[in-house]
Amino acid sequence: PQPLERHGPARVIAMANQKGGVGKTTTTINLGAALAEYGRKVLLVDFDPQGALSVGFGTNPHTLDLTVYNLLMQEDVDIDDVMVKTNVAGLRLLPANIDLSAAEIQLVNEVAREQTLARVLRPVIPDFDYVLIDCQPSLGLLTINALTAAHSVLVPLECEFFSLRGVALLLDTVDKVRERLNYDLELDGILATMYDSRTTHSRQVLQRVAEAFGDKVFSTVITRTVRFPETTVAGEPITTWAPASSGARAYRQLARELIAATDK
Ligand code: ADP
Ligand code: MG
């Protein structure tokens, strides 16, 4: 990809799937790191009270004074004081911890409750090329906030038969958010994850996904490998921890696909 002459405004992408363990957080970390390698300025938003995205960069979320929770719930908190640097140049993180689980309930009583995340991100949109929001595994108010703040959705989909069922429900939710809250919300695509080329099962699921979603499926497929769980322990992206690994190469390929599709 060409280097950018100037940065921003950001394309905001929600990484969503209400099923857990499908690769949302792994994709947020490694797609973000790969985009930053290509010179893009990237902000990653941890929007899951489990804080796995924050842990993935070696932060201990329980020791943080300020997280995305404070940003959402307190008027006087500045986003610059909440963002932290990562080991990757050009890649910053808005961390979260278990405090965020309270926001789901507290937001219910806020004015424009679905627009809260969009509102607090607005000041930094001009500074970044991509903002990736790592959603929690539910279709609750936090995820609705992410879909409302986003230009588009990227759906990591595990290559397992039952995973296809859940996607229909997710896409219904995306349609509702588009009709009611965010008229321009797009589907960037479905990303097949946890692919195991040795099993016919995995190959069949991939074929079904291609039949069902056609050109909405990314050409990049993420293979199942233990290197990903290992990077969580290492506290850094696979692109820096094992730069020549097939996993690192796959996420760079995804980054190139996204850059080509979004023209950024
Ligand atoms: P989610 O955020 O959707 O819950 P994660 O990205 O946290 O999913 O992935 C769930 C678990 O699977 C983590 O332990 C992660 O390290 C592991 N994982 C993610 N992607 C892969 C992959 N391609 N191959 C093997 N393990 C993976
Ligand atoms: Mg996660």
Interval 69-98: pLDDT, tens: 999 999 999 999 999 999 999 999 999 999
How many other CB atoms sit within 10 Å of the CB of residue 169? 12
Instruction: Please give the distance, rounded to the nearest whole angstrom, from the Cα atom of residue 33 to the centre of ligand 2.
Output: 16
Instruction: Please give the distance, rounded to the nearest whole angstrom, from the Cα atom of residue 5 to the centre of ligand 2.
Output: 33
How many other CB atoms sit within 10 Å of the CB of residue 8? 15
Summarize the confidence of residues 15-29 as an average pLDDT. Answer: 97
Q: Decide: 23 and 238 in contact? Cβ < 8 Å.
A: no
- Lining residues, ligand 1, CB within 6 Å: 20-26, 52, 137, 193-194, 222, 224-225, 228-229, 232
The domains of the chain are located at 11-262
227 Cβ contact partners less than 8 Å away, ≥ 6 residues apart? 238, 242, 245, 247
CA distance 161 to 239: 29
Strand, coil or helix: what is 244?
A: coil
CATH T-level assignment (fold) for domain 11-262: Rossmann fold (3.40.50)
Ligand 1 atom index nearest CA of 20: 4
Is the pLDDT reported for residue 237 higher than 90?
yes
Side chain identity, residue 101: S
For the ranges 62-66, 126-130, 201-205, the one whose mean pLDDT is highest: 126-130
Find, among 111, 175, 177, the residue nearest to 144 by Cα: 177
Testing ligand 1's pocket by substitution, the residue of 17, 18, 24, 26 carrying the most ligand atoms inside 8 A of its CB is: 26
Q: Decide: 139 and 18 in contact? Cβ < 8 Å.
A: yes
Interval 124-137: pLDDT, tens: 999 999 999 999 99
Give the per-residue pLDDT at 33.
98
Give the per-residue pLDDT at 208.
93
Percent of the chain with pLDDT over 90: 94
Interval 141-193: pLDDT, tens: 999 999 999 999 999 999 998 888 889 999 999 999 999 999 999 999 999 99
Is the pLDDT reported for residue 11 higher than 90?
yes
DSSP state of 21: S
Instruction: Please give the distance, rounded to the nearest whole angstrom, from the Cα atom of residue 136 to the centre of ligand 2.
Output: 6
Testing ligand 1's pocket by substitution, the residue of 19, 134, 228 carrying the most ligand atoms inside 8 A of its CB is: 228
Cα 256–261–262 angle (5° rounding)?
A: 100
How many other CB atoms sit within 10 Å of the CB of residue 221? 19
Instruction: Please give the distance, rounded to the nearest whole angstrom, from the Cα atom of residue 48 to the centre of ligand 1.
Output: 14
Ligand 1 atom index nearest CA of 156: 3
Give the per-residue pLDDT at 77.
98
Is the pLDDT reported for residue 263 higher than 90?
no
The bound ligand whose nearest atom lies closest to the alpha carbon of 192 is 1
For ligand 1, atom 12, which residue shows the shortest CA distance? 21
Alpha carbon separation from 151 to 14, 147, 174 (Å, rounded): 8, 8, 11
